[in-house]
Amino acid sequence: MIIGSGRAEGSESRLARALPPLLPTLGYALAWGVVTGICALTSLMLDDWQTPGKIRWVVVLFALGGFVAFPFGLYLARLLAQLRGSGEAAFAAAFVSFALATIAATAALYGLQYREYYAQWHQEAFSRIWFLQFVHTLAAAAYQFAVLGVRLYFPVGFVALLAASLAFARRHS
C-alpha cells in the first residue's frame, strides 16, 4: 500500500512540476500565435493568393491556433523532458510537442469552422444522424487540413519550430 501511494505521489509531482508559470506562458503563447500567423501569411504570399479577405481569415486562424496550442505544447514538452535529463531529449520533446499541439489546435479550429459552414445541411442537433454527420464533417476537415493546411507552416514555421525547440532545450538544461 505504501509503495503504491509513493508511485502515485511521484507521478503527481511530475505532473505538477511540468505545469509552466501562467504569465510567461501566455506571453510566449502570444508570440507563438504571431509566429504561426506569419508562417501562414508568408506561405500565402509566396503562393500569390489574390483574395485579401481569405488571407486575413487564414492568418487569424493560424495565429489563434498557435496561441491556443502553445500552453499545451509547453506542458507536454516539460512533461516529456522530465523523463530524460539531457538537452537532446528536451529538444526532441519540445520539437514534437510544439509541432503536434500547433497542428492539432489549428486543425481543430479549422474543423469547427468547417462544421459551422456545413451545419446548414445537417439534421437536427443531437440526433443519431447528426452525430454521424458531425463526425464525418470533422474527419473531412482534418483530412483537408492535413493535405492543404499543414504546408502553410513551411518554410517559416519549420525554422521557428527549430528555434523554439532549441530555446526550450537550453532553458531546460
Q: Is the pLDDT of residue 6 over 80?
A: no
Give residue 11's pLDDT: 65
Give the tens place of pLDDT for each residue, 111-151.
Answer: 999 999 998 998 999 999 999 999 999 999 999 999 999 99
- Tell me the mean pLDDT in the region 87-109: 96
Q: What is the pLDDT of residues 33-46, one digit of tens each?
A: 999 999 999 999 99
Answer yes or no: is pLDDT of 1 > 90: no
Count how many Cα atoms sit within 13 Å of the Cα of residue 83 in the half-sphere of its side chain: 10
Read off the pLDDT of residues 60-72 as tens digits, 9 standing for 90 and up. 999 999 999 999 9
Task: State pTM to two decimals.
Answer: 0.88
For residue 155, give the H/E element and its range.
none
Question: By the 8 A CB rule, do 39 and 148 touch?
Answer: no
Residue given cell 499543414 in the structure block: 150
**Can you give the pLDDT at residue 10?**
61
Q: How far apart are CA 52 and CA 26, in angstroms?
A: 29
